[in-house]
Amino acid sequence: MLVLVGLGLGGADDITVNGLKMVQRCSEVFYESYTSIQAHGFDLTVLENAYNKKITLCNREKIENDTDRILDLAEKTDVCILVVGDPFGATTHWSICQQALSRKIPFQVVHNASILTAVGCCGLQLYNFGQTVTVVSWTDTWKPDSYFDRIEANLSCGAHTLCLMDLTLGERTIEGIMSASWSVNVGVLDFCRNKPEYKPPAFMSASAAAKQLLEIIEMRRQRGAVTLLKETSRCVGLARIGWPDQKIVCRSLAEMSTTDLGEPLHSLVIVGSTHPLEEEALRMWQ
Amino acid sequence: MLVLVGLGLGGADDITVNGLKMVQRCSEVFYESYTSIQAHGFDLTVLENAYNKKITLCNREKIENDTDRILDLAEKTDVCILVVGDPFGATTHWSICQQALSRKIPFQVVHNASILTAVGCCGLQLYNFGQTVTVVSWTDTWKPDSYFDRIEANLSCGAHTLCLMDLTLGERTIEGIMSASWSVNVGVLDFCRNKPEYKPPAFMSASAAAKQLLEIIEMRRQRGAVTLLKETSRCVGLARIGWPDQKIVCRSLAEMSTTDLGEPLHSLVIVGSTHPLEEEALRMWQ
């Protein structure tokens, strides 16, 4: 059997009772470390101790490249993949589920909280959100801005936009490149547990995302375009949602670009048209 | 302290470990029975036994009318309100949170899964969903159709639409009307536990929602309007998501109007533009 278990907003106790039962029942437990890394002082041993289970860290590349091996394992025994948020926040997980179903391997999902709904804690109504975007980190030579068009489309019909922050994976370390080959060891996959194959990932901050949005506005202005999103547009910065030290602030986009929300993970909401109740809520974060 | 605890998709074990700890710590536990009733053979004693705690059922009206009394209680002791899904799926809960904060009553939220993200289990990407709508049940004299415009707006930019089903509360029973007064009994609120104040609620089915959408198309056609949503448009019907007997089917809107998905709760997704991976997923539900 293959079980995808959502870990919700990331603390060891954010797993559901059902999810915990699944983890304890499975003989192999993997932790998917790519699609949303538990940034906030993450330590795998905390989860291992809380669940009283050995957990193997594996990155997305390995899950994607070795789906067949994971499914071979799931044919013989109960295998669990832990995923931060809800398991279907990322395409990767749907794809492994689909392959399990087509191989007729019993398959289960344990849903959990995701920032996509937890964002409701800022008081903006979930019904009033349009399509979610990811603010992609720019490099010197690669500056995609298509997500900006979605924000504009949402604003044009009064909808709020949840902007997720890009996760910049560090480059592979030399040690990582040298050890990238796979080994099957006593029938168990070696997911290079605790091996520093990648440099630590970089998390985009809400202020960096705001800065990048301001740059796009400026670039478009120079081309003569008029954007709905402006320096004065209101946005809500959210940090560490679901954690005891979560932080929510409401600022103009320009102000947000210089606002430090502290440790990751951050999200940013571009505010569309508001209901009076939403206005009341936003006043609390000013 | 006031704690809002999400129950996720509705089984007793769908609570998070953190949520369960909160329930066990609180001296008063309420179960909010309006915004998303646990339909599927719901029995409060199942939760009481699972959590080893007395739980008081209360409807939205009482939470809204007696927020002050609940907060008075929360000033003196630890009070928990259990809510199906994520606590911020409904405005009611934001409002009580806001009042707690303004009265400086310590306040916490335990997030959980919601159909708003669990819908990803059908293989359509959450990023490609536009604004969510609720298909409102019509009466003979009241036939609102503004949600249809949101579906059209989503389709016009290629986005999918999650349609939640209206929950039709039954009329009050005579017994309910007779017992509607409040009593404060030994300092604890009497939320008329186990008293059948309302007739059982009616849940809209995905087929009924599809039928109503077809009626709106026909009404608009008669007015000479051309709609993007058509009889042949694809939609996905979802029933009992997160439960062992969940069901997902992909049909044309016309076919969906005669498809029986069984017990509640149902949801319906109007499919917008699709990615090849999404197409693969949809083929599984045909």
Q: Shortest CA distance to B278 belongs to which of B156, B159, B116?
A: B159
A178: closest CA of chain B, how far (Å): 33
Q: Shortest CA distance to B283 belongs to which of A1, A89, A101?
A: A101
What mean pLDDT is predicted for residues B226-231? Answer: 97
* pLDDT tops 70 at residue B201: no
| pLDDT (0 to 100) of residue A189 | 42
Euclidean distance between CA atoms A158 and B255, whole angstroms: 33
Enumerate the residues of chain A whose CB falls inside 8 A of the CB of residue B15: 16-17
Phi, psi values for residue A20, rounded to 5°: -65, -40
Lowest-confidence segment of A48-52, A69-73, B56-60, B89-93 by average pLDDT: B89-93
Instruction: Please state which CATH class domain B2-113 belongs to.
Output: alpha beta
Euclidean distance between CA atoms A282 and A236, whole angstroms: 8
Do A117 and B114 count as a contact with CB atoms less than 8 A apart? yes
Q: What b/e string do you get for B80-99 counting C-beta neighbours within 10 Å, with b at 16 or more?
A: bbbbbbbbbbbbbbbbbbbb
* Among A98, A102, A112, the residue to mutate for chain B (most B Cβ within 10 A): A112
Two structure tokens written together for A20 = 């915990």
Two structure tokens written together for A81 = 């993949």
* pLDDT tops 50 at residue B191: no
Contact A194/A57 with Cβ under 8 angstroms?
A: yes
The rounded mean pLDDT for chain B is 86
Phi, psi values for residue B14, rounded to 5°: -85, -5
Q: Shortest CA distance to A260 belongs to which of A215, A224, A207, A182?
A: A207
> Does B279 contact chain A (CB < 8 Å)?
no
Q: Per-domain residue ranges for chain B?
A: 2-113, 116-169+200-284
> Which residues 173-232 of chain B have a CB within 8 Å of chain A?
none
* Each residue's pLDDT tens digit, A87-144: 987 767 888 888 898 899 999 999 999 999 999 999 999 999 999 999 998 888 889 9
> Which superfamily is assigned to A116-169+200-284 in CATH?
Tetrapyrrole methylase, C-terminal domain (3.30.950.10)
Q: Return the number of other C-beta atoms located less than 10 Å from residue A268's C-beta.
A: 26
| pLDDT (0 to 100) of residue B197 | 56
| pLDDT (0 to 100) of residue B59 | 75
| pLDDT (0 to 100) of residue B192 | 38
| pLDDT (0 to 100) of residue B101 | 87
Q: For residue B131, give Cα distances in angstroms to A2, A129, B278.
A: 32, 6, 19
Euclidean distance between CA atoms A147 and A158, whole angstroms: 17
Do B116 and A117 count as a contact with CB atoms less than 8 A apart? yes
Contacts of B104 (CB under 8 A, 6+ apart): none
B198 confidence band (pLDDT: 50, 70, 90): low
ω into B265 cis (within 30 of 0): yes
Q: What is the pLDDT along chain A (286 residues), one digit of tens a residue?
A: 999 999 998 789 999 999 999 999 999 999 987 655 555 566 788 899 999 999 988 877 777 788 889 999 999 999 999 998 999 877 678 888 888 988 999 999 999 999 999 999 999 999 999 999 999 988 888 899 999 999 999 999 999 999 999 876 544 555 554 444 333 333 344 443 444 555 566 789 999 999 999 999 999 999 999 999 999 999 999 999 998 899 999 999 999 999 999 998 899 999 999 999 999 999 999 9
Lowest-confidence segment of A52-66, B33-47, B67-81, B245-259 by average pLDDT: B33-47
| pLDDT (0 to 100) of residue B96 | 87
What mean pLDDT is predicted for residues B170-178? Answer: 49
What mean pLDDT is predicted for residues B72-93? Answer: 89
Contacts of B213 (CB under 8 A, 6+ apart): B135, B148, B151, B229, B253
Name the strand (E) or helix (H) holding B279.
helix B276-283
| pLDDT (0 to 100) of residue A44 | 84
What mean pLDDT is predicted for residues B192-220? Answer: 80
Q: Return the number of other C-beta atoms located less than 10 Å from residue B180's C-beta.
A: 13
- Amino acid present at B85: G
ipTM: 0.87
* pLDDT tops 80 at residue B75: yes
Enumerate the residues of chain B whose CB falls inside 8 A of the CB of residue A89: 117, 120, 126
